[in-house]
Structure 1
C-alpha cells in the first residue's frame, strides 16, 4: 500500500481537473525538466529540490514527473541503456499506474491534512505530517531503490513542521529525494533553502496555456482560450480555474461595472454579488476577487506608464487610463491594499460575501468620485 494513501479530499487538487500525479505530460517547462534530467544522468542528483515560481505553472506536475522517472529507472545507467532523453514515462507503465492510483510504496505526499471534525483542510501543514517522513525514510525501499517525498506546498508548513523537515534534510538517507513545491520561498527557513537545489520555474506563455486548456478538454472557442490565457497571467492552474468557474463572463460583468466608475450600476452590482456570493460558489467567488484585484493592479501600472494588454472588454484600457490619469496613484494603491485586507478579514471571520463585494465597489465608487471631483476642480 502507498505510504500516503488516504480517504480524504486532496488539498493540492484543482476542482475536478486531473491531479498532477496523473498528468504524465509537462507543457512549457522544458528547461526545468532538463536541469533535473541532467543532474540525474550525471550521477550527481541532489537529495532535495526546491521548485519555486507562481502558483499553477507546473511545479507539482514537474515533481510528480521527476518522481515517476526516478522510480522507473532508478539509476542513470539504466536510463542511458533505455536511451531516455527526457523524464517522460508512458501512462501505461506500471510505475505510472501505481502513482496515479496512489499505491506506490516508495512515494510519500506531505500536504495540509483534512480535519474530519470540521470537514475542511487545516490552514497549515502540521508537524505531525512532516514527521511521517521519519518512518517513511526508515523503511526499506522497494523496487527501484528510490524513496521520494513531495511536499506541496512547503509554504504552508508552520515553524514546528519546518524544524522537523530540517532535521531530515540535514541527515538525508541514501537514495532519497525531496521535492518541495513553493510559491513563496522567502517564507521558508533560510536553512531549508540552503539544503535544497533551487529551481525557479517561469510563468507559462499564452500559447502553452492554450495548449494546456486543450489537453484538459476545456470546451472553449479559440478566441475564448486566448482570452483565458491572457487573464491567467502565466498560470495554467489559474486558467483552468477561470474556465471552470465561468471566469470570462465574470470578468465581463466586473469590468463593465469598473468602466462606468464613478457611476455605479446598482442593479448589475447586486446581480454580480448574488452570483458569486451564493452557497456553493466558492470557485466563482475566488476567481472574481482575483480578476478584480488584477484589473486594479493593471490600472495602476497603466497609470505608471506600463504597456497595456489588448481589450477583452471594449473600452477597458481607456477606462484604466481615465481612472489613473490624475495625480496620486498612491491613492489607488491604498484602496487596492484595503480591498485585499477586507477580503482576507472577511474570509477569516466568515463574513457575508455579498456584503463584502458591495462594500468593495462602494470603496471604488468613492475613490473614483473624489478623483473626478479633483479633476473637475483643476
Structure 2
C-alpha cells in the first residue's frame, strides 16, 4: 500500500470526524487527476483498521482490503463488458443495483462499517448517476460512501449537494519529489523538477508520462514547434508517435497541451518566472519569444477540435501530428 504523503490537514479532518462518529455518510474527494485521491481513501480505510484491530486481526483485514476481497468494502469503477470484453465507457445501472444489494445485505463483520469507494464518480452516465442518487437519498446506517472526482463540476448538482466535499490540492515540490522517487528513483533532479512543473504537481500523471518514455520526446517536440516548415525532425517525431497506442498518445497530448499553455503564459507575462525550477521550463521562456500567440492558439484549437475524432475513429496518428505541426 502506497504511503500517504501530503494532504495532512484533510486527512486529520476526516479521521477526527470518524472517531467522533460525526462523519458524513457520503464524501466527495475531489481535485486534479493524479494527485493521490485513491491513495488518500485507502489510507483512511487502513487508519480505521488500525484504530480497531491489532496483531493478526489487523493483518487479516488489511490483506483482505489490499486483495479487494474485504466483505465490508466494495469498489465501484468501470468494468469490462461481458460480451465485448472491453472496458465500458461509464459505470452502469447494473453496477448501481449491485451496490444497493450490498448495502441491504447483513454485514458479515458487524463491528466495522460498510465502505463503498467509487473510482471515479466522473464515470457515471446520466442514468447511473440518477440511480445512484437514490442511494444517497436513503443512506444506510454505519455506511460510508467515498466518491472520487477529478472534475467535481461534472457531477450532478443533486449528488454534490448531498455529500461532504473535501478538496485535495496539487502537491508542493518537496512532497511531489518524495512520492515520485518512491516509484521511480533513477531520474536526475532537474528531470523531476520539470515533471512537477509540467503536470502542476501531480505525481500520478508524472509517473504515467515517465513510464511511456514521453519525457524523451520533449526536446524533439519543442524543436519541431519552433520550425515553420516540415523537416526531417518532423518526420522523425511523427513516425515515432505513430507507433504509440491510444493511452500512450493521450499522455503525449497531455504534455503537449501543457507545454503550449506554459509558453502562452510566458507570452502574456502570466507565468511567475521566480517559480521556475527546471532548466526545461526556463528554456520554454526563451522559446516563447519565437512562437506567436496566434500559432499557439491555432494549435490548441486544432487539438480541441480533432482529438476526440482521432480516438473515436482510430485515425492515423502520424497524419494527425503532421497537420498539427503545420498549423
Settle same-fold status: TM greater than 0.5: yes
User: Unaligned stretches of 5+ in structure 2?
Assistant: none
CA distance in 2, matches of 1:33, 1:139: 30
Change (3 A) 1:119 1:274: farther
User: Unaligned stretches of 5+ in structure 1?
Assistant: 1-21, 83-88, 364-378
Partner-residue secondary structure (3-state), 2:326: helix
CA distance in 2, matches of 1:256, 1:334: 18
The CA deviation string for residues 123-143 of structure 1, in whole angstroms up to 9 with x for no partner, is 111111122111110112233
Asked if 1 retains the 8 angstrom alpha-carbon contact of 2:199 and 2:258, the reply is: no
5 Å-filtered alignment, 1:133-212, equals 133-143=99-109, 144-212=111-179
Partner-residue secondary structure (3-state), 2:68: coil
Asked if 1 retains the 8 angstrom alpha-carbon contact of 2:209 and 2:215, the reply is: yes
Partner-residue secondary structure (3-state), 1:118: coil
Alignment counterpart, residue 273 of structure 1, candidates 234, 238, 244: 238
5 Å-filtered alignment, 1:89-100, equals 93-100=59-66
CA distance in 1, matches of 2:267, 2:284: 13
1:304 deviation in Å? 1.7
CA distance in 2, matches of 1:235, 1:267: 34
Instruction: Please provide the CA RMSD for this pair.
Output: 2.3
Asked if 2 retains the 8 angstrom alpha-carbon contact of 1:241 and 1:283, the reply is: no
Higher relative contact order structure (alpha carbons within 8 Å, sequence separation ≥ 6): 2
1:31 is matched with which residue?
9
CA distance in 1, matches of 2:119, 2:80: 14
Alignment counterpart, residue 318 of structure 1, candidates 275, 286, 299: 286
2:193 is matched with which residue?
226
Change (3 A) 1:98 1:254: same
CA distance in 1, matches of 2:181, 2:21: 37
Partner-residue secondary structure (3-state), 2:290: helix
CA distance in 2, matches of 1:217, 1:339: 30
CA distance in 2, matches of 1:321, 1:48: 49
CA distance in 1, matches of 2:294, 2:16: 47
CA distance in 2, matches of 1:183, 1:313: 26
Alignment counterpart, residue 33 of structure 2, candidates 50, 55, 77: 55
1:226 deviation in Å? 2.4
5 Å-filtered alignment, 1:1-378, equals 22-23=1-2, 25-73=3-51, 93-143=59-109, 144-258=111-225, 260-264=226-230, 266-278=231-243, 281-307=245-271, 308=273, 309=276, 310-312=278-280, 315-324=283-292, 329=293, 332-363=296-327
Change (3 A) 1:351 1:290: same
1:225 deviation in Å? 2.2
Change (3 A) 1:335 1:243: closer
CA distance in 2, matches of 1:238, 1:185: 18
TM-score normalised to structure 1 length? 0.79
